Structure 1
Amino acid sequence: MQNIVKSMVEELEAMFSGHFIPYYKVAMGMAAMVALVFSILLSHGVVFEGKIAVIDLDGSHYSTELITQINTSPFIQVTEVVRSPINPIVLVSHDRNLGVLYIPKGLEKSIKKGDKSVRLGYFVDDTNDAQNAKISQNLNEIIPELGAEFSVGRVSALAQGREATEAILSPMQLKSRSLFNPTSAATLSPIIYFVYFFSSITYGLTSLMIIGRLKVTGLWQATLARGPLALMCRVLPYTLFYTTALTLISAIFILFGQLRFDGNYFAYLPSVFMTGLAFGWMAMLLAWKTTNPGEGASKMILLVPPGFILGGSTMAVGFLPTWAFYLSHAFPLVWQYRFYRDFAMRGRSLVDMLATYGAYIIFLTVVAFVLMMVFNQTKNKQQTA
């Protein structure tokens, strides 16, 4: 415990010494600056084979055929069909699907009778607008086209009143509704994503330079003597500032009504802290063989940007093959964006997120284990040298 405390105190002294990055200032300043700049710049803010779920309350032969035809379209893949009422948020949580198609009861009866138009619903997971562009476009083309097949034989019978005429010409319509960001407010998606990205950049640079700094300041041998746990705890001060900065900026947005956070922030908070640990420990692994802080900082391209690209922040990720989707979770920012979308925008509870938390803990455990193995291997080599 004494070694752990010494290591943390040394990091705090380095942080406040004026000779290295003053991370306590950078953490707060970067988050605030990015929030301000992008709030001003962004006043508002293509997936092939996009995955959707279907709530089929009709359960008829026609609804089954309709689902099959939608599934065979070039841009849409139906992943699951539910035959009972269910909250569509459940079906899009954890990035399972990009939207939910709702088929009302009585579809086949109304279509064949032709007395009124049937309005299907599409619940859009607009946590990332780019994901649903092709899906919405193609559903709006496919649904009327499939419904028109029933109209061909009845076009001559138009003198049946307005509703009946509309039903013949357009027996089936699609009405879309955005689930989470109907006003396309940039604060809910691009701005907050940029806040996390640039905050992670500054933290990543700081943590990538720890190993090189220990070597150039003559503390490397003492670090090896204290053990791996003492080294790993060096990132705790930075992680606390990282978590505090992001929480403070989020709180300001929420208080001023610019950010909707539907879930429990205290249930979400551990994910931010865990991401800080993941960045710190992975940075140490990436910079393990570096000899100076600048060499460690050069590894940044391998730590933060891949998670920003693959995390579904500003680009669609639905096109990723299955292996690439799972491989993307090697980057901490991918985990953080998933937690943010589920907690903040979809309003999931802690119970709903226990499985994701469990997977993240396993990920952190693996990273910590690898770091301890590398540490012990280095220590044993120096002892035998």
Structure 2
Amino acid sequence: MRAFLEEWKLMISSKFVLKAMLTPLIVSVFFGYLYSHNQINKTSIAVIDEDNSLYSQQLINKVNASQYIDVKSILHQAVDPEMLLANEKYVAVLYLPHGLEQNRYQGKQSNIGFLVDFSVPSATGNLRSAMAEIISLENSTAPTVGKLKALGLTDDQISATISNLSLQQRSLFNPTSDNLNVIGFGYITIVSLGIIYGATLTIVPRLREEGRLADDLKQPIGLYLRVIPYTIVYMIVMILTMAALKQIGGLRFVANPLEYMLPFGLFCLISAWFGMLIGWNAKNPLSAAGRAQQLISPAFLLTGVISPIILFPEPIQIMSNMIPATWYFKFFRGMGLRGGSLTYYWEELGVFLLMLAVIFSLLGLLIMKELKKRNQTQMEETLEANEPILLIDTKK
């Protein structure tokens, strides 16, 4: 009983009760807001309208009126659908062939293509069913239906006789919805990312604790280069991991390996410097290493590994775009799953270079601040050492 009372008093006097009450509440509010939309509405698609007729425009308007579809672009010339899907600006491409309106009123069948990006399968469920419903409704209101009814055919006979519009759906890039290509690869990448964070977070606190930080600050480039060994090891480990997943687990990876190394190398370097930046002001290496979880959790929740980013509220999507792993997974889906060329991704490369420049500059500011602080401390110590000592004559 004495031990119980002792622990009870210790618990009451500490911050345990406050943390125990606030942590679940804060997490509940965050997840409630994160998944407040419940489903994906207004998924962006592009339309290739080669017919460019009154009926094709009417059909596009009906598609755009669906609560699940948002027609972002309409093109009237042949375009490679895979190029449109490369940068994830669109989730699907709808193809309306030449002669659509003419076939409609002549009772001839037209094949409508619907190519869906399956690199994020959970983002396409409502999209496909909505498109199927629209085409089904169009077939039920075809002009030739009235003629068939006049001939005495029943609704079932008419449905079996006519299908004016035929929707040809294709699931691209991950047609079997293999979770290894999405969740599996994402989980392995982020867990491995925790290892490099654990190392780079502790660099500056370790040097400070060992009394060696002042020497490194005299040559700042050396401090920047301290992350390179961890970056190289992380790159080698991830390359071997992808090779093992491809050979054993059937991971889809169709990118040009040499082209893929550029964004992958930038991602590794950004992650290493970002870890150093976050751990800079930690009191000791142990305290710095504890911050790794604060970097891993957002990377796992907000980068599209568990849920598609378009499911989140807009402020969360903006926050997601500030995480380096979000852009790396875009590269993996674009080049690794879709087989896109590096030339499709100059915008994403620009984001990586901007992140690199910002983190490099912030580290530079911290180095200058640390140098200024140390110089000021040394100056104060010098002044104290040179301060004249006032001697008191005791004979008087």
TM over 0.5: yes
% identity of equivalent residues? 29
The two structures have a TM-score, normalised by structure 2, of 0.78
- Aligned match of 1:137 in 129, 142, 156? 129
Give the counterpart of 1:266 among 258, 264, 270: 258
Equivalent-residue separation in structure 2 for 1:211 and 1:147 (angstroms)? 68
Q: Which of the numbers 44, 54, 73 marks the counterpart of 1:51?
A: 44
Q: Secondary structure at the match of 2:343?
A: coil
The match for 1:98 among 80, 91, 97 is: 91
Deviations 1:160-205 (A, max 9, x none): 9xxx945875422322111111222333222222221111122112
Q: In 1, are the aligned partners of 2:231 and 2:269 still within 8 Å (CA)?
A: yes
Q: 1:176 and 2:166 equivalent?
A: no
Question: Deviation of residue 217 (structure 1)?
Answer: 2.4
How far apart are residue 242 of structure 1 and its match? 0.6
Counterpart of 1:76 in structure 2 is: 69
From 245, 260, 265, the counterpart of 1:253: 245
Moved more, 291-300 or 252-261: 252-261
| Aligned residue in 2 for 1:43 | none
Q: Distance in 2 between matches of 1:158 and 1:96?
A: 48
* Misfit runs of 4+, over 4 Å: 157-160, 164-169, 320-324
Please say which structure displays the higher CA radius of gyration: 2
Q: Which runs of 5 or more structure 1 residues have no equivalent in the other structure?
A: 1-45
With over 3 angstroms needed to count, the CA separation of the structure-2 counterparts of 1:115 and 1:275, relative to structure 1, is: closer
1:157 Cα deviation from its structure 2 partner = 4.5
The structural deviation recorded for 1:355 is 3.4
1:207-286 to structure 2, matched below 5 A, reads 207-227=200-220, 229-255=221-247, 258-286=250-278
Do the aligned residues in 2 keep the contact of 1:122 with 1:177 (CA within 8 Å)? yes
CA distance in 2, matches of 1:149, 1:380: 77
* TM-score normalised to structure 1 length: 0.81
Is contact 1:50–1:319 with CA below 8 Å preserved after alignment?
Answer: no
Aligned residue among 310, 315, 339 for 2:302: 310
Q: Give me the whole-angstrom Cα distance separating, in 1, the residues matched to 2:249 and 2:286.
A: 41
2:323 — aligned with what?
331
1:194 aligned residue? 187
Secondary structure of 2:167's counterpart equals strand
> Which one has more relative contact order, counting CA pairs under 8 Å at least 6 apart?
1
**RMSD of the TM alignment (CA)?**
2.6
Q: Distance in 1 between matches of 2:237 and 2:40?
A: 34
| Number of matched pairs | 338
Distance 1:318 1:63 in 2: 28
- Counterpart of 2:212, as a letter, is L
Where does residue 311 of structure 2 map in the other structure? 319
Aligned to 2:139: 147
The residue aligned with 1:378 is 370
Q: Give the aligned partner of residue 289 of structure 1.
A: 281
* Rounded Cα–Cα distance in structure 2 between residues aligned with 1:158 and 1:110: 21
Alignment partners' CA distance in 1, 2:51 and 2:313 = 32
| Number of the residue aligned with 1:361 | 353
Query: Aligned partners of 2:266, 2:333: CA distance in 1, in Å?
Result: 16
Residue of structure 1 in register with 2:100 after alignment: 107
Q: Which residue of 2 aligns with 1:123?
A: 115
Report how far residue 281 of structure 1 moved: 1.4
Distance 1:218 1:170, change over 3 A: same
